[in-house]
Chains A and B, each alone.
Chain A
Amino acid sequence: MAEPLLRLVDLRKHYGGLAVTDGVCLDVLPGEIHAVIGPNGAGKTTLIHEVTGIVAPDSGRVVFAGRDITRLSLARRVRAGLARTFQITSVVAGFTALENVALAVQARSGSSFRFLRPAATERATNDAAMAALAEVGLADRAAIPAGALSHGEKRALELAIALATQPRLLLLDEPLAGAGPEETERLIALLTRLKSAYTILLVEHDMQAVFALADRVSVLVYGRVIATGTVAQIRGDAAVRAAYLGEDEG
């Protein structure tokens, strides 16, 4: 078996007496889409925050590409190759779609402490940004202010920004949240396209999407991973059915 790209080792986080992350161990292998599912309150959001550096775990380790990144800031993790999207879309609304992506391009190519030249005239930066926009199908929306894009387009733009950081791992935090049926279909098609090129840790509510996209699934309940396996294994797992699938999906 290949060395995992991301390894969560016995992560624990308590809020008061509540164990929100209760000894989570999880591996993401290179090239796979690993989905994390779980009912509301299972601790998915906290887990993501621990992986991305927004919340520090009480104990345990986050190992990325063989390196312990447990104490690194979000920005440093991104520079190490761990890009993320947000559950609530996070773009710079006043920037055009292109400038949103160009910001990510300049962050990884050369210093951002450059003061003289107008950033908008950097050909190479703009070209790389356009390429990322084209990858998510937003090439013809490059000049539109991000705030004026539709919800689904903003989602795609956020993906383009993440891709522009040239990540080794994409962490997608409920990429389908708030999308209509048509947008969902388009986003799933987009994620399917990205699947071959990127390693993805996907946290998602939409079961249909998870079962369509994921190579492996981990089920999080009350801060614990109660099962990890292929889609077929998870569907057939009695404990998972009891804890999760049998219930209302909301």
Chain B
Amino acid sequence: MAREAWLPLAVLLALGAAPFVGLGGSYETTLMARGMILGMAAVSLAFLVGGAGLASLGHAASLGIGAYAVAILDAHGVTDAARVLPAAIGAAALFSLVTGAISIRTSGVHFIMITLAFGQMAFFTASSLAAYGGDDGYTMYSRTEVWGARLLEDRLAFHYICLGALALTWGGCAMLLASRFGRVLRAARENAQRVEAVGLSPYPFRLLAYVIAGAIAGAAGFLLANATEFVSPATLSWQRSGELLFMVILGGVGRLWGAILGALVFVVLETWLAQQMQHWKLVFGPLLILAVLFLRGGLSGLVARRHG
């Protein structure tokens, strides 16, 4: 771990330096913010998938619920971060608690399907919120204020807030996985019966992990809504959940920081290809398939092997 950690640290440093080396324009910072925010959601999903062994296909629901919390409060004139951020995190955590309490009783394909179903329920609920744009989505009046200051409007400030949130997410999830709590999660991922046979029930540990990951995704949703100043049901769609899962796999399931690489590469590739050609998805799709086939252990595995 220690030997491999130079790469994610270098990536975070590069993101920190980017605005000062010619990437400080609106276009570049928007793109980077998107990568960092989705990276944050992807790391929280990697914590679930690679850490706890819970392959959720409904993680975008938590992301979207965080974003919708911002939009709904915006529509009612509440734009203070001290209230909006806890609401976004709390709503996503609550959703994760309720759906997780049921989902985590299942495993394998059943778990994937039930998280997908809950995600779609959230998607259709968002689509039916006519007061907040329904299918068309909702355009915010303004970004969330931080104690009355329009801090998030500042391009640089927002860039570093996203970077800080991403670093915090990575560090926090790594800390959790190394703790006693994480040890139980990691053991239960490999051999749940073994965990029971030392006297622990994996269920409450998994549920808490599910809620934590949901809360982080909710925080990412808060940033996402503020980055685009627009929220739509697409944020909660199962396609977005699939993309997040793909970022995790592209980065390498075994390493949390792989999800950061996965998300950044995904966002950059997607944007670049979309500029090159109209039917870019015809190229993007096969590229993703090739990456899964030939990059066993993902991008992070590639790096780790070279230094292993």
Q: Give residues in A with beta carbon < 8 Å to B.
A: 73-76, 78-79, 83-84, 86, 90-95, 99-100, 102-104, 106-108, 111-120, 122, 161-162, 164-165
Chain A residue contacts of B196, Cβ below 8 A: 73-75, 78
List 12 additional A-B contacts (Cβ < 8 Å) besides A108-B198, A119-B182. Answer: A73-B201, A74-B193, A76-B199, A86-B197, A92-B191, A102-B183, A103-B194, A106-B183, A107-B198, A112-B181, A114-B179, A161-B194
B179 touches A94 (CB 8 A): no
Chain A residue contacts of B184, Cβ below 8 A: 103, 112
The distance from the CB of A116 to the nearest CB of chain B, in whole angstroms, is: 6
B175 touches A78 (CB 8 A): no
Q: Is the interface on chain B under 10, 10 to 19, 20 to 34, or 35 or more residues? A: 20 to 34
Partner of A119, one of B180, B197, B200, B208: B180
The distance from the CB of B222 to the nearest CB of chain A, in whole angstroms, is: 22
B195: interface (CB < 8 Å): yes
Chain B residue contacts of A74, Cβ below 8 A: 193, 196-197
Q: Give residues in B with beta carbon < 8 Å to A.
A: 175-176, 178-184, 186-187, 190-191, 193-201, 205, 208
A91 touches B191 (CB 8 A): yes
Chain A residue contacts of B197, Cβ below 8 A: 74-75, 78, 83-84, 86, 90, 161-162
For chain B, what secondary structure do more than half of its interface residues adopt (helix, strand, loop), or is it mixed?
A: helix
- Select from chain B the residue with minimum beta-carbon distance to A77: B199
Chain B residue contacts of A161, Cβ below 8 A: 194, 197-198
A92 to B193, CA, bound (A): 10
A-B contact pairs, 23 of them (CB 8 A): A73-B201, A75-B195, A78-B198, A79-B199, A84-B197, A90-B197, A92-B194, A93-B191, A102-B183, A107-B198, A107-B199, A107-B200, A112-B180, A112-B183, A112-B184, A112-B205, A113-B180, A114-B180, A115-B181, A118-B179, A119-B182, A161-B197, A164-B198
A197 to B132, CA, bound (A): 69
Chain A residue contacts of B201, Cβ below 8 A: 73, 75
A104 touches B182 (CB 8 A): no
A116 touches B179 (CB 8 A): yes
Q: Which of B178, B180, B184, B187 has the most CB of A within 10 A?
A: B180
Chain A residue contacts of B183, Cβ below 8 A: 99, 102-103, 106, 112, 119
The distance from the CB of B170 to the nearest CB of chain A, in whole angstroms, is: 16
Chain A residue contacts of B193, Cβ below 8 A: 74, 86, 90
